[in-house]
Structure 1
Amino acid sequence: MVSSCINCEHCIGEKCQLDWEIGQMGKVGIVLFGPSLDAVSGVSSHVKLLMASSLADRYKLMHFQVGREGRAENKWQRMARFAFSPLQLAVFLVRKKPRIVHINTSMDRKAFWRDLTYLIVARLLGCRVVNQFHSGSAPQSLFSSPLLSSILKRFLLASHVVTVLSSGAVRSHRAFDSRIAVELVPNAIDTKGLLDVERERPVGGAPLRLVFVGRIIRSKGLFESLAALKLLKDQGLGFELRVAGSGPDEAEVLESIARLGLTSEVTLLGPVFGAEKDRLWLGSDVQVFPTYHNEGLPYSILESMAAGCVPITCPVAAIPDVMRDGVHGLFVPAHDPAAVAAAIRRLADNRAELLCMSAAGRQRIAENYTVDRLAARFGEIYERVA
């Protein structure tokens, strides 16, 4: 009876769970806050990268779901979640007994009040707090009221470490209060399927293969890109643009494509993921992404450079920390279709420069923006904070 029980599927599953629990004994517990791991979200991607990294060998990593991304709920359910989630967090922390709470947040008002409550709960229960900001906003811009700014300052000072994505954000936090323990920790990507795949050498004189990957909203610069392509088409330049993503301005984008006479050159693919997205990056020459959105560090910039797809973008948030103008890609001013058109024309007319930028971008990502680098950086922080 015993031997047959050991071989049954149910008991094998229980043994695996027991082995895992034994393996976690003695490890420092860390709770990573973030949306559902199934959500299409930059923060979800970040949390999944950390949980699958080498950090899992050193620490007991746990996920606590926050936010509405990945949830199907109505207004009343959202209100109930907002009201009761601090209690849920308290119960979670009492049961799991982590040493560190890692809050993933952004510098906006709704997230601030939620995460302030979470920080209070965590500190009252004796947890250390790592507060990671994923947006490019400066703390000085969140509130105009001196009282509310004072509360924000206390929130940041109550965090044992605050991490941000750009050198500019480090400066703005130190200017807000020099006592804030702020550190620079840029995003990273899983480079498998991008860096380790050799690109096909583009055929000289062939139409430039352009790509946009991201949420279809006006502030990502897609409308300026379409206006730029209209200028280039009128000049007789050949090209193709593939747009991957979805968003609230998708219908307006379709109208603009038709109005500008670009239906033969521009294709909307809808959302793409995984290997399909990797193939899209590897099969494109230039990423057209003149964003003026409140970015942190867009994953699309890191992914395109890893694939050797040269970015044309705006120098906002953490992007200038990653790429140098004329070395890894080209910077253009926001809201400037003529500048976007000139940048595309420059790369179309100088394929040798395009190839140099492609190689330089891949090297830049390999040296600075891998998951191993991200895990090592947070490992240092966790060790100090714990």
Structure 2
Amino acid sequence: MYLYSDMEMFLRPRILLFGRDPAWFGGVVNFLAALQKETKKTVEYYNFTIGQRPGNPLPISKYLTPLVDAICLTTLIFRERFDSYHVNPSLNPASLIRDGLFLLILRCFKARNVVVSFHGWEPSTARAIENNHLSRFLFRTVFGWPDHILVLADSFRDWLVAQGLPAERIHRFTTMFDGDEAKSAVDSTDPSGDTIRLLYLSRIIREKGIFELVEAFSTLSREDGRLELVIAGTGSEENVVRQRVVELGLEGRVRFPGYCRGGDKWKLIYSSDIFLLPSSYGEGCPVSLLEAMAAGLPVITTPVGGIPHIVEDGKHGFLLAEVTPWHIADGIRRLVTDSQLRKRMGELNRKEAWEKYEAEKVARRFERLYRGEGWS
């Protein structure tokens, strides 16, 4: 545990932190909550809420909210002084327009120690920018001036440099998991149970490989009666996936607990044996992956985004060469039939996750950045 000095607690930097309403679900919301929790003694945060608010169903609010937010930001900067400004965009059109507007306002006011952390990353948006001269110019102008630009993968960094952003300002960061939550949750694993539980914990969308996973499980369920699949989360394809489970006759072998958070989420993770994220989506550094590793689960995932920086094939689990039912089933089969391999990978994952990705350790790097000490 890090011990704070009296000077650190007295000289707390004031940070303007941009993020969505905490009532929304999602990785960025959880990341910012963990960051503030771990540094609340030494950093003073002013949360600037952006985007649509929960409970506002009016379609027009989607377009008016960024303008209202921009006016509020301008008024706030007139009135208040901050030591650092932390903007958290994703590489998708809506976020780039919204957060780009905020960055232009900050630039007009000559804000200093501006931090931009890219979380989500849509490859289609990256291609659209790089293939259009005007888009490249606008992107470079709006997102290339901040003091620190943080990304979740070296490939993202290389892309930014190729668009003309300064390499010396771009650094790779990781997301984090809440160690206090993990410790306080009850470890509900039953070591004497025969069930081998496979866990998918993410949005239920096609790009995450959920349909291929269900097909793979259909094959494996006929081979091994011990297997159970848990699909935790919500998403646009949930009803279609549920229907496919019924068509395959898997109702008794597949569970849908919905969106899980806090202690319920950790109990679910602890009670599982293998974590699955066969995604072809532009993943950054999925928090659910770190949480599964922290709980000692071997993982089966794909080498997209920042995942290869976390998972080494054959060491922490398996990286799928292709997202097909056959490849997914093969990876699961290798772990199911070798309990010692599962145990060895799980123990290594637990050790490395707590050493590298626990919230206290990651948050300290951001605190140093806020204090103007650079990224280290």
What is the alpha-carbon distance in structure 1 between the residues aligned to residue 78 and residue 55 of structure 2? 25
What is the alpha-carbon distance in structure 2 between the residues aligned to residue 24 and residue 175 of structure 1? 40
Residue 355 of structure 1 corresponds to 343
- Partner SS for 1:148: helix
What is the alpha-carbon distance in structure 1 between the residues aligned to residue 10 and residue 198 of structure 2? 50
In the TM superposition, residue 383 of structure 1 has moved relative to its aligned partner by: 2.3
Match of 2:157 among 141, 146, 170: 170
Match of 2:34 among 35, 49, 57: 49
In the TM superposition, residue 230 of structure 1 has moved relative to its aligned partner by: 1.4
Pair 1:78–1:140, CA change in 2 (3 A): closer
Q: Is the 8 A contact 1:33 1:103 kept in 2?
A: yes
Matches within 5 A, 1:182-221: 182-194=170-182, 200=189, 202-203=191-192, 206-221=194-209
What is the alpha-carbon distance in structure 2 between the residues aligned to residue 59 and residue 284 of structure 1? 36
Pair 1:136–1:83, CA change in 2 (3 A): closer
What is the alpha-carbon distance in structure 1 between the residues aligned to residue 11 and residue 323 of structure 2? 54
Equivalenced residues, count: 362
1:120 matches 2:104: yes
1:263 matches 2:251: yes
Q: Which moved more, 1:287-296 or 1:314-323?
A: 287-296
What is the alpha-carbon distance in structure 2 between the residues aligned to residue 59 and residue 178 of structure 1? 29
Residue 119 of structure 1 aligns to which amino acid in structure 2? L
In the TM superposition, residue 187 of structure 1 has moved relative to its aligned partner by: 0.5
Q: Which moved more, 1:370-379 or 1:296-305?
A: 370-379
1:141 matches 2:127: yes
In the TM superposition, residue 118 of structure 1 has moved relative to its aligned partner by: 0.6
Residue 85 of structure 1 corresponds to 69
What is the alpha-carbon distance in structure 2 between the residues aligned to residue 70 and residue 44 of structure 1? 13
1:161 matches 2:137: no
In the TM superposition, residue 225 of structure 1 has moved relative to its aligned partner by: 0.8
Residue 301 of structure 1 corresponds to 289
Residue 63 of structure 1 corresponds to 47
Q: Which moved more, 1:352-361 or 1:128-137?
A: 128-137
Larger gyration radius, structure 1 or structure 2: 1
Residue 252 of structure 1 corresponds to 240
In the TM superposition, residue 27 of structure 1 has moved relative to its aligned partner by: 3.4
Residue 17 of structure 1 corresponds to none
Q: Is the 8 A contact 1:33 1:65 kept in 2?
A: yes
Residue 74 of structure 1 corresponds to 58
Unaligned runs of 5+ in 1: 1-22
Residue 3 of structure 2 corresponds to none
Residue 15 of structure 1 corresponds to none
What is the alpha-carbon distance in structure 1 between the residues aligned to residue 312 and residue 16 of structure 2? 36
Unaligned runs of 5+ in 2: 1-7
- Partner SS for 1:261: coil
Residue 224 of structure 1 aligns to which amino acid in structure 2? E
What is the alpha-carbon distance in structure 1 between the residues aligned to residue 71 and residue 173 of structure 2? 30
What is the alpha-carbon distance in structure 2 between the residues aligned to residue 171 and residue 378 of structure 1? 22
What is the percentage of aligned positions where both structures have the same residue? 26
Q: Is the 8 A contact 1:130 1:160 kept in 2?
A: yes
Q: Deviations over 1:264-317 (max 9, x none)?
A: 211111111111110100000011221111211111101111111221111111
C-alpha RMSD over aligned residues: 2.3
Q: Is the 8 A contact 1:136 1:318 kept in 2?
A: no
Pair 1:296–1:70, CA change in 2 (3 A): farther
Residue 99 of structure 1 aligns to which amino acid in structure 2? D
What is the alpha-carbon distance in structure 2 between the residues aligned to residue 198 and residue 280 of structure 1? 9
Residue 362 of structure 2 aligns to which amino acid in structure 1? L
Q: Is the 8 A contact 2:116 2:146 kept in 1?
A: yes
Taking structure 1 as the reference length, the TM-score comes to 0.87
Residue 134 of structure 1 aligns to which amino acid in structure 2? H
1:131 matches 2:119: no
What is the alpha-carbon distance in structure 2 between the residues aligned to residue 289 and residue 360 of structure 1? 19
Q: Deviations over 1:149-201 (max 9, x none)?
A: 01111223211110011122222222332624101111111123436876857
Residue 137 of structure 2 corresponds to 150
In the TM superposition, residue 380 of structure 1 has moved relative to its aligned partner by: 2.4
